Structure 1
Amino acid sequence: MHYVTVEGLAKSYGITPLFENISFHIEEGDKIALVALNGTGKSTLLKILCGKETADAGKVWIHKDVTVVMLEQSSNFNMNQSVLENIFDHEHPILNAIKEYELLTDDDAEPDATLLTASIAKMDELNAWHFDSKVKQILGKLNIHHLDQPVGTLSGGQQKRVALAKVLIDIGFEHKHTLLIMDEPTNHLDVSMIEWLENYLDQENVTLLLVTHDRYFLDSVCNEIMELDNEQLYIYKGNYENYLEKKAAREESDRSSTEKARNLYRKELEWMRKQPKARTTKSKSRQDAFYEVKERAAKRIEQQQLELNVKMTRLGGKILELKKVYKAYGPLQILKGFDYTFKKGERIGVVGKNGVGKSTFLNMLMGTEAADSGKINVGDTVVFGNYSQQGLIVKEDMRVIEFVKNIAENFPLADGTKVSAAQFLQLFLFSPEKQYTYISKLSGGEKRRLHLLSILFRNPNFLILDEPTNDLDLPTLSILEDFLQAYQGCIVIVSHDRYFMDKLVDHLFVFEGDGEVRDFPGNYSQYREWEKDQEKLKTIPEPVAPKPLETEAPAAPKGRKMSFKEKRELELLEKEIGSLEQEKKLLETQLAEGTLPYDQLQKASNRIGEIMQLLDDKGMRWLELSELFS
């Protein structure tokens, strides 16, 4: 089914064009990634598609049966309402029934029997249990609990996860044909959540257009890449690796064409200067062609060839040493007797679930937070460069070039030469025109890029990067990775971007909770493989020791009491698993008979795949509840 047609779309802000005369199509089942520099119109294009912005020219046609659902970078919540009220914010009998049931059973207290009986009856009548199960899965995987909590009391990361849950619930509810638009969906998600979201979007029959900086996520989810570059749109079928290859070939072709046009332009310019003032028809046509050649010759090919061999402040023999360091916030233990001595050129990734104290650890390294006990000794030659999640802080609005020149006029290189502030800005994709833009006029991603640049321009020898990839575009990430690979100082990185971590770090500090920190010798992908192997080992049953002749009766295991909600979930799981098994058996029989028409055959085959995944998920949840309370 054809979902969207875009023809001749154009958009400018003032005299600055974002894109000009772009056209593309979206078909059912397409999963498309939109790639571009920050500030070149990615978010604007997404908003035009969902009707929140208007184009200057061109047409957008969306099929009348298609519902467009968008996850924006910033969410418009009612801060005084609860999580549940914001998620189920539109009227529908099934949504109302689920909201009522979830409110009654949200805590461990025994609900009012009369209200609960009526709520269960309504759920049965509307056949809402299957959808309620999907809602529970989404909320659980995104670590969203305490549904009666006002959204205004949540952190920015928690609010982003609530917004994502709302969108996923919306697309799973009654909309048969949905175009899901997502702007940086992986921001504020830990890696286990990102991996779950990859699988969820892959299994769901959803048509997707997204902007993301997470290249592993992009590679796993998308089958097409659209790039906005120099106001034009380029479309590449296939994965991220194929996109890089095809883009490199296109740029090489563009360079060759531009060079030919410049040679022709020089010849034509010489001819134009020699022309007499009287114009013949023949010379007039050649003059018209001259202006076309001039336009092609003037085309700029953005290719950064400036390589920075950085001249750093020399690191002495003593860099940073932690001895028997303890740190806790109330019951939350962050470090428990942590020991480590940093060596020259180390690249360490810091990973762990949200809330285990990774940012606190970084603050302790820089001395902005004190340890409860133990010693943190910093070498005299260490110059920290701290890229925090707080973002760029500017006392008064100024132009980009002025902001950088206030730090320093030049950046010193190892060979004794210097790079000017303007050249350094160009390396990080701030064109000469953009350098004279006021900071307040930059996009969110451009401000993040400028913040990062300002940290590096101060020439530190110990970099601490807290989620540096959030809101950065892929071209900037590539330049940052090249810069950091050539960097000779120490680097400590907290990031959920697996591609970025794999490319840069030598080993990991894994915050496992309760103050335990594991020093893992490898990158993030290697750690995830090791972690999965450890999970498999746990499932292997231990050998059973022979029973002695006389034993006392074993004590009954002391599990916590099952809440009403959990009892009800266990009962429903048993019914749902039974129903799914029956449906699977029926479909297998129909497929074996070979009498179904082709379209029904395809649907039956797809449905069996969905059922098997549902059986796996529900079976695992049934085992969790059974073992927890047995």
Structure 2
Amino acid sequence: MHYVSADKISKSYGIKPLFTDISFHISEGDKIALIARNGSGKSTLLRILSGRDTVDEGTVWINKEVTVALFEQEPAFDEQATVLDNIFHYRHPVAEALRNYERIVGGTEKDPAEYSAALARLDELGAWDFEAKVHQILGKLNIHDLAQPVKNLSGGQRKRVALAQVLIDIGFEHKHVLLIMDEPTNHLDVEMVEWLEHYLNQQNVTLLMVTHDRYFLEDVCDVIWELDNEQLFTYKGDYQDYLEKKAARIENTIANIDKARNQYRKELEWMRKQPKARTTKSKSRQDNFYEVEARAKQKVVDTQIELQVKMNRIGGKVAELKKVYKSYGDKTILRGFDYTFKKGERVGIVGKNGAGKTTFLNMLQGIEPADSGKINIGDTVVFGNFSQHGLEIREDMRVIEFVKNIAENFPLANGGTLSASQFLTLFLFPPEQQYTYLSKLSGGEKKRLQLLAILFRNPNFLILDEPTNDLDLPTLSVLENFLGEYPGCLIIVSHDRYFMDRLVDHLFVFEGDGVVRDFPGNYTQYRIEERSKDKVKEAPAQAVAETTAKPVAKDKKKLSFNERRELEQLNKDLPALEQEKTTIANRMSEPGVSYEEIQRISARITEITMLLEEKEMRWLELSEYAE
């Protein structure tokens, strides 16, 4: 079924064109990711398709049977209303029945008659399956206090409530929903992101979304749209396919531009020789000349950079923490933490919100004191701190002035320098944008400028606290290339699994109650280990539940000859699989292992874990009847 068609649509803000004469179609079941730089019109295009903005030119057709649901970066709520009333704002009998039921259940006192009436209404509507789905969504997104006003929520809580709202809303529309999502993974921890991946893959929903989370993009979407240079390009496949096809497109475009420039030089010479009075034939050639001129003057921006940094020298002593303790009241952040940082170390920090990650970073930089213990920082260490608080800036200042106030030039390792303007260009602020007032920048552009300002000071110990939030994929690509060659120390706190996998060598895992574990691997390896632990914990409880539900009488059945042989084989397979898992897990921790091999090993560990689970369950089943 055809959902949406756009024919030659254009949109500008003032004199700045966002996109020009673009056309596309969305059909039922499509799952599309939209990629572009900040300020290129991604959010505007989403708002146009949701009916909250209009095009300057062209037409947009949306099938009248299709309901469009939009999840925005800045959700709009009834600020005085409760979380419950905002989530169940939808005018639908099931929504109203569920809101009434949740209000009664969440109240301090229950009126038995009112409670019975609410139950009867849910029975009447057959809403219990949907009620279970609602509780799953609220539980997975950590939304529990439904009675508090929305105005009291933090930014992250507001995003999760908005996400719950839209996921529940589309459940009321059983047919033909186009779900449009703008950065749905911001402010979600990794467990929530993984759950959302699974949820969207299980639902029969047509999806168009903007996301910077590349693993999320790969797992959910099978088509990528890219807004670039006012045009829309379509790529089928995952993110790796997109990178390869985009590189081929740029290479082809450059070849065509070179060809057009050669033709332009010939045509320009002909134009200069022509008399003013032209024949029809020469007039046609003159019109063609301007088309050739436009092609010849195209510019191709390649965001892949290599920047050899002349970093501030770092001495033999970097940072040393000895028996460090830190608590807030009854909450313990660090309990006797010991660690010595080495030159060029790359550490990722993970843990649940509130576990003390930001406090640890502040203590390392001397912003907060330790309760006891020693934190010794080398004399030559220069910290660069990218915090979640953003920049404190004068809104009436221009971008180029802001950077020049830090320094006029950026030193390079080869002895040369980059001017402030050149450095801005490398980080996707072209010359025409460098004189823009800071007040006119988008949220993502301000984040990019914050990052640039930190790097321009040339620190030798970088601390990045959630640097990927609000950054677009082209900017992330530039940042990753820069950090990949960065010779200093690096600490990253991020829920972006792809970003962490590319850049860190090991993890500090904040497990709570002052425990910090040093994990020798990247984020994906850590998540594989955590999922394996969760399955081990769940298995005994599941076995108890099954035994309680269905007591097994051993004397009712004996193993057949084939089943005895199968049990013997399982007794051989299980130790062999355990040994293989241990061997390749140790291989992952060895120095010099390539990223591609790590990916292969991780995939094999996942496969082995699933095999072990399957074979162990079968072994338990057969062992019940073994003599």
Say if 2:70 is the partner of 1:67.
no
Say if 2:381 is the partner of 1:382.
yes
| Residue identity matched to 1:73 | Q
Partner of 1:565: none
Range with bigger deviation, 227-236 or 170-179: 170-179
Mark the CA change 1:171 to 1:241 in structure 2 (over 3 Å): closer, same or farther: same
Identity, % of aligned pairs?
Answer: 70
Say if 2:46 is the partner of 1:51.
no
| Per-residue CA distance 1:207-258 (angstroms, 9 max, x = gap) | 0000000000000000100110000000111111111111111100000000
Say if 2:87 is the partner of 1:87.
yes
Relative to the length of structure 1, the TM-score reads: 0.84
| Residue identity matched to 1:379 | G
| Residue identity matched to 1:126 | L
- Looking at structure 2, the residues matched to 395 and 442 of structure 1 have their Cα atoms a distance apart, in angstroms, of 12
Contact 1:312–1:460 under 8 Å retained in 2: yes
Range with bigger deviation, 400-409 or 477-486: 400-409
1:277 deviates by: 3.1
Say if 2:449 is the partner of 1:450.
yes
1:169 deviates by: 0.3
Partner of 2:483: 484
Partner of 2:5: 5
| Residue identity matched to 2:286 | Q
- Looking at structure 1, the residues matched to 517 and 396 of structure 2 have their Cα atoms a distance apart, in angstroms, of 44
Contact 2:511–2:517 under 8 Å retained in 1: yes
- Looking at structure 1, the residues matched to 167 and 106 of structure 2 have their Cα atoms a distance apart, in angstroms, of 20
| Per-residue CA distance 1:361-406 (angstroms, 9 max, x = gap) | 1111111122222221111111111111111221242111111111
Mark the CA change 1:229 to 1:175 in structure 2 (over 3 Å): closer, same or farther: same
Partner of 2:510: 511
- Looking at structure 2, the residues matched to 91 and 48 of structure 1 have their Cα atoms a distance apart, in angstroms, of 24
Mark the CA change 1:513 to 1:284 in structure 2 (over 3 Å): closer, same or farther: same
Range with bigger deviation, 246-255 or 350-359: 350-359
| Residue identity matched to 1:80 | Q
Mark the CA change 1:331 to 1:443 in structure 2 (over 3 Å): closer, same or farther: same
Aligned pairs for 1:558-597 (under 5 A) are none
Mark the CA change 1:133 to 1:256 in structure 2 (over 3 Å): closer, same or farther: same
Mark the CA change 1:306 to 1:167 in structure 2 (over 3 Å): closer, same or farther: closer
Partner of 2:287: 288
Could you say what secondary structure the match of 1:460 adopts?
coil
Contact 2:90–2:169 under 8 Å retained in 1: no
Mark the CA change 1:217 to 1:282 in structure 2 (over 3 Å): closer, same or farther: same
- Looking at structure 2, the residues matched to 362 and 143 of structure 1 have their Cα atoms a distance apart, in angstroms, of 25
Partner of 1:76: 76
Mark the CA change 1:101 to 1:540 in structure 2 (over 3 Å): closer, same or farther: closer
Partner of 1:598: none
Contact 1:67–1:175 under 8 Å retained in 2: no
- Looking at structure 1, the residues matched to 340 and 180 of structure 2 have their Cα atoms a distance apart, in angstroms, of 46
Aligned pairs for 1:176-575 (under 5 A) are 176-304=175-303, 307-539=306-538, 541=540
| Residue identity matched to 1:421 | A
1:92 deviates by: 2.7
State the number of aligned residues: 544
1:123 deviates by: 1.6
Partner of 1:552: none
Partner of 1:604: none
Could you say what secondary structure the match of 2:367 adopts?
coil
Range with bigger deviation, 380-389 or 327-336: 327-336
- Looking at structure 1, the residues matched to 261 and 515 of structure 2 have their Cα atoms a distance apart, in angstroms, of 63
Mark the CA change 1:30 to 1:306 in structure 2 (over 3 Å): closer, same or farther: closer
Could you say what secondary structure the match of 1:200 adopts?
helix
1:78 deviates by: 2.0
Q: Which consecutive unaligned segments of at least 5 residues does structure 2 have? A: 550-627
1:64 deviates by: 0.6
Range with bigger deviation, 320-329 or 52-61: 320-329
- Looking at structure 1, the residues matched to 223 and 91 of structure 2 have their Cα atoms a distance apart, in angstroms, of 36
| Per-residue CA distance 1:54-87 (angstroms, 9 max, x = gap) | 1101111111111111000011112222111111
| Per-residue CA distance 1:156-182 (angstroms, 9 max, x = gap) | 001100100001000111342110000
Contact 2:324–2:375 under 8 Å retained in 1: yes
Relative to the length of structure 2, the TM-score reads: 0.84
1:288 deviates by: 1.7
| Residue identity matched to 2:450 | H
- Looking at structure 2, the residues matched to 369 and 152 of structure 1 have their Cα atoms a distance apart, in angstroms, of 30
1:306 deviates by: 5.0
| Residue identity matched to 2:409 | N
Partner of 1:619: none
Could you say what secondary structure the match of 1:340 adopts?
strand
Partner of 2:143: 144
Mark the CA change 1:40 to 1:322 in structure 2 (over 3 Å): closer, same or farther: same
Could you say what secondary structure the match of 2:106 adopts?
coil
Partner of 1:164: 163
Mark the CA change 1:207 to 1:305 in structure 2 (over 3 Å): closer, same or farther: closer
- Looking at structure 2, the residues matched to 326 and 306 of structure 1 have their Cα atoms a distance apart, in angstroms, of 42
| Per-residue CA distance 1:332-383 (angstroms, 9 max, x = gap) | 2211111111111011000111221211211111111222222211111111
Partner of 1:609: none
| Residue identity matched to 2:19 | F
- Looking at structure 1, the residues matched to 6 and 388 of structure 2 have their Cα atoms a distance apart, in angstroms, of 36
Mark the CA change 1:522 to 1:81 in structure 2 (over 3 Å): closer, same or farther: same
Contact 2:384–2:460 under 8 Å retained in 1: yes
1:440 deviates by: 1.3
Partner of 2:97: 97
- Looking at structure 2, the residues matched to 103 and 319 of structure 1 have their Cα atoms a distance apart, in angstroms, of 55
| Per-residue CA distance 1:521-555 (angstroms, 9 max, x = gap) | 0000011111122223334559x9xxxxxxxxxxx
1:489 deviates by: 0.5
- Looking at structure 1, the residues matched to 313 and 413 of structure 2 have their Cα atoms a distance apart, in angstroms, of 11
CA RMSD of aligned residues (A): 1.7
| Residue identity matched to 1:434 | Q
- Looking at structure 2, the residues matched to 540 and 34 of structure 1 have their Cα atoms a distance apart, in angstroms, of 40
Q: Which consecutive unaligned segments of at least 5 residues does structure 1 have? A: 545-569, 575-630
1:331 deviates by: 2.6
| Per-residue CA distance 1:2-36 (angstroms, 9 max, x = gap) | 11011111000111100000110000110000000
Say if 2:14 is the partner of 1:14.
yes
1:283 deviates by: 2.5
Contact 2:141–2:160 under 8 Å retained in 1: yes
1:304 deviates by: 4.5
1:282 deviates by: 3.0
1:276 deviates by: 3.0
- Looking at structure 2, the residues matched to 103 and 305 of structure 1 have their Cα atoms a distance apart, in angstroms, of 53
- Looking at structure 2, the residues matched to 21 and 540 of structure 1 have their Cα atoms a distance apart, in angstroms, of 57
1:203 deviates by: 0.3
Partner of 1:123: 122
Mark the CA change 1:331 to 1:79 in structure 2 (over 3 Å): closer, same or farther: farther
Partner of 2:618: none
Range with bigger deviation, 525-534 or 215-224: 525-534
Mark the CA change 1:332 to 1:79 in structure 2 (over 3 Å): closer, same or farther: farther
Contact 1:397–1:439 under 8 Å retained in 2: yes
| Residue identity matched to 2:410 | F
| Per-residue CA distance 1:551-589 (angstroms, 9 max, x = gap) | xxxxxxxxxxxxxxxxxxx9xxx9xxxxxxxxxxxxxxx
Could you say what secondary structure the match of 2:173 adopts?
coil
- Looking at structure 2, the residues matched to 538 and 304 of structure 1 have their Cα atoms a distance apart, in angstroms, of 46
- Looking at structure 1, the residues matched to 379 and 512 of structure 2 have their Cα atoms a distance apart, in angstroms, of 32
